[in-house]
Structure 1
Amino acid sequence: MEELKDTVSAAGHRSQVWIGLYSHVDWKWSDGFNQSGDEYRNWNDHQPNYNEANQFCVGMTRQGTWFDYYCHVKPTFVCYNDSAAGGFEFVRVNTRKTWSEAQKHCREHFTDLATVRNDDENEEIKSLISRGNWAWIGLYRDSQIYWSDGSHFSFSSWSPGVNSPDSMEVGCGVADLNKGGKWRLISCEVRKPFVCYSMEQRGWCFQ
């Protein structure tokens, strides 16, 4: 990070530059549902916002709108039972668990965390959590984060601000030199200067 900041600063640049980071934005249902209705969403305003690049699980408010949030938080959650006739029976569980713990509980005692396919099902779940704060549902996003050269993703330096993955299939990484070089994901179609590196020359270059 220090070498990247030095390279860009030496070129007299102080704003955002592309780095080789990218992430697929792939929302999935816990039960693997991918038929008609699998793309139904009821996001709250300005959601999902992928705050701190660390919000991969989805909750529903008592107003019935959705938001992405930190998977380790422990609210209540909604499971479903899938009948032989193909109908869903939703069940709110008042025990507080992380998203993964809630998924495990639903799979052990019911069918899975709630899959929401249309407005009617969303309203049904909303009625179950109307007396509470919010609850986990079964939607989540894979934490697919990669480097352009295929390097293993381990070190990170995310900005504490929000990202906006809602309409993107892939988010691409910028280092913001006005914020200490911290990273954000933005639309890959934006034109920005960028930083390359060369293994042969053992150095970085700013373009």
Structure 2
Amino acid sequence: SARTLTPSCGTSSHVGRQYHFIYDQKTMTEAQSYCREHYTDLATIDNMEDVNILINMAAWIGLYDARNSWRWSLADQMFYEDGEAEFRNWEVRQPDNYRSAEYCVAIYDNGRWHDVSCTRTIQSAQSYCREHHTDLASVRNMAENQKVKELVALGQNVWIGLYRDSWKWSDGSNSSFRYWRPTEPNNNGGKEICVTTVLSSSGQWEDWPCHWRKEFISSDKTESAEK
């Protein structure tokens, strides 16, 4: 694919998508607004072909950590009163998404919640509950939280049905492609929820603080992608 660079913007295309590298440095939020005004959105990277096209462009892309996208495992199967689906009883300084790897929730013996790593046992627990009961427990208010707390033995913690979708694309794409550097994403104390490509690492990705200012890549869908 040919790439033509100008002092302020570079453009690169392939079937289905056209990329625009913007040399002005902006925060992730500013970059997103700029892309949505002038193009379609921040760039979504679908595959290694896209990576190879953008390999010399170290910049913001449209992937971000949707840290507050919590939902209940049972949400599609039961009725919630207003506000019940939003009830939370987090422990102090939770959720912290340690090492960008905590997408599920456990309740501890004090009744407080922690976000925790979704090991494969969470799938086993969910499958068991759905086979033998209805689903992992939803906790809709403090009265229900107290009932669940009473079932947790001292020093123990158990799964509840709250989980979150993790990384999302700014344009709403459901692409599951990821190209992280080794040891990334690392979240760095909960401060890094936006994503940049890294020029010195063959275009691999790192999570960075969203308020840092950096060049960015916008994308447009081409006609072939819309057919």
Using the size of structure 2 for normalisation, the TM-score is 0.55
Task: Provide the C-alpha distance between the structure 1 equivalents of 2:170 and 2:176, rounded to a whole number of angstroms.
Answer: 7
Q: Deviations over 1:170-193 (max 9, x none)?
A: x9523397xx77522655xx3622
Q: Deviations over 1:129-172 (max 9, x none)?
A: 1324210001111245226595833223233235649xxxxx95
Correspondence for 1:40: 87
Higher helix share: 2
The aligned runs of 1:148-167 (5 Å cut-off) are 148=171, 150=173, 152-157=175-180, 158-162=184-188, 164=190
Give the C-alpha shift of residue 109 in structure 1. Answer: 1.4
Matched, 1:68 2:110: no
Task: Provide the C-alpha distance between the structure 2 equivalents of 1:114 and 1:149, rounded to a whole number of angstroms.
Answer: 29
Task: Provide the C-alpha distance between the structure 2 equivalents of 1:162 and 1:47, rounded to a whole number of angstroms.
Answer: 15
For this pair of structures, how many residues does the alignment match?
Answer: 159
Q: Is the 8 A contact 1:163 1:185 kept in 2?
A: no
Q: Deviations over 1:50-99 (max 9, x none)?
A: 233332211111111111112115xxxxxxxxxxxxxxxxxxxxxxxx11
Compute the RMSD of aligned alpha carbons.
Answer: 3.6
Give, as a single letter, the amino acid of the residue that structure 1 aligns with 2:187.
Answer: G
Task: Provide the C-alpha distance between the structure 2 equivalents of 1:137 and 1:198, rounded to a whole number of angstroms.
Answer: 39
Q: Is the 8 A contact 2:63 2:167 kept in 1?
A: no
Structure 2 unaligned segments of length 5 or more: list them. Answer: 1-50, 221-227
Correspondence for 1:59: 106
Matched, 1:22 2:64: yes
Using the size of structure 1 for normalisation, the TM-score is 0.60
Runs of 4+ in 1 over 4 A off after TM superposition: 1-8, 147-151, 162-165
1:64 alignment partner, SS class? coil
Matched, 1:108 2:150: no
Correspondence for 2:14: none
Task: Provide the C-alpha distance between the structure 2 equivalents of 1:130 and 1:38, rounded to a whole number of angstroms.
Answer: 26
Task: Provide the C-alpha distance between the structure 2 equivalents of 1:23 and 1:114, rounded to a whole number of angstroms.
Answer: 25
